[in-house]
Chain A
């Protein structure tokens, strides 16, 4: 439907730009505030644009006691959960698509229900379970929880991808003398590369974002992750908004950059893997 009317088109363009500004503003404001001298954030003056740029806030943020420790914890948990979830996910996706076995439908149903279940409601039993097996306050507990939260999604997504690769290709390879596994490894697995990358990244981001279980299972200060640390910024940074924003930028930047790199695919409607809390 082409809008023939020029005035209408200009109006819609204006609305679009206004919305773009609204959605962009918080990101801009985070970066802008992080680059200002700290006292410039605490003035009553009105300035939307940076006048002088400094990296002092970043020095303040990363030299806070514990920062490197929390960053390491976050990385261990997110990378570990990502590797486990994607490995278990691809192992499960292969037989679901390529083999017939008893209980297959039931398993798929379990995965589907797990994806829709509100995991937050399992907080109490999860806490007691980790306490009973002696993992409370230990990073592996958090890693396992994050595997549980991302695994249904990775299985489901990878299953979709494997299904999208025609089985004929494998059959042709088998006619040419490959074994069943050889055909899968030489034909299908290489085609799955992009799928593995995207599910990996989404598992990583989900775990990177996770807050509730980190808050509950890591009662010990030294085992906290970045999100939990950031949530206490008012005690960590006081009214140092520059420092708070710099810490937020450090936390957000890897994810923001990744999204900008792949934004073409996201916009193309390949929205598999919504990351949301």
Chain B
């Protein structure tokens, strides 16, 4: 999802002129057809977007103000209950624990992904072409692995009795890991999930930042070198200013992805043991799909969007405005 630099394309040589000054005899235009053409072309996309994203987006807010459990759903009743759903959730101490947990988990994933990604991007500039290719191919493989395949592999690696990790730890002298269960507490379960997410997320970030590094003109470094800058000073003066916006973008994207992550958390332990690895998106699923409390689940979803907006809203505004400028 790189931001492509768009130049405003001038309309073709014969712009569809709605105010055609008198139809010439040679160019027999159909002003109406010409005016309708763009709308016909975007119709499938706009219908799909409005029906499948716009409508649910409005609905999620409306449903969050309704009492909608299985009974109401079956009877087709619409029962408005104001802020009851929100009161119920916000009054539940468990919700605050889960929110805090989700934020910490997101922070760990984002710092890990962006940090390691940045280090690898910088490292790629310093190594020979052969080693770089080896590193890049292994990164591509990690990136390409479908999430569910990666999840099963991680469960196998971290398996209590026969997992290669425990075996390795015992081999190098940590005997306490013999039969150690990585999924017995929420904290260690989330640690495994975070490692999985970081492992899958780093390649994209690393390649993006590496591409950004390659676009820093080499003569800038030469100039810095002539001025007697050390490696670190060169980084501070030349590399970092060029990279900072991209690191910002990478951080923003990682927050967006990691905050709402469901697949890995659910597939590893369904938010267990005892709900200790439940995050907000898992809570939404448990309330809505397992518990049929659709109104409450919708309120959880709205709160999720609100938290996310608080986290990255400013940045999102900036991004949209910048893209708008390029329209």
Contacts and interface: CB of A to CB of B under 8 A. Distances in A.
B153 A26 contact: yes
B257 to A, nearest CB: 5
A98 interface: yes
A23 B12 contact: no
A13 B146 contact: no
A96 interface: yes
A227 B2 contact: no
Contact of B9 (A97, A116, A269): A97
Contact of A259 (B2, B140, B253, B289): B140
Interface in B280-296: 281, 284-285, 288-289, 294
A160 to B, nearest CB: 3
B144 interface: yes
Contact of B284 (A27, A119, A123): A123
B247 interface: no
Interface residues of B, number: 119
Dominant secondary structure at the B interface:
helix
Contacts, number: 348
B152 interface: yes
Counting contact residues on chain A (CB < 8 A from B), the size range is: 35 or more
Given A20-B138, A124-B294, A115 B13 contact: no
Given A27-B145, A272-B1, A160 B9 contact: no
A144 to B, nearest CB: 6
A155 interface: yes
A30 B15 CA distance: 57
Contact of B208 (A156, A271, A277): A271
A250 to B, nearest CB: 9
Interface of A: 1, 3, 9, 12-13, 15-17, 19-21, 23-24, 26-27, 29-30, 33, 41-44, 46, 48, 84, 87-89, 91-92, 94-101, 104-105, 107-129, 144-145, 147-148, 151-153, 155-156, 159-160, 163-164, 167, 170-171, 174-175, 180, 205, 208-209, 211-212, 215-216, 226-227, 230-231, 233, 241, 244-245, 247-249, 251-252, 255-256, 258-260, 263, 266-277
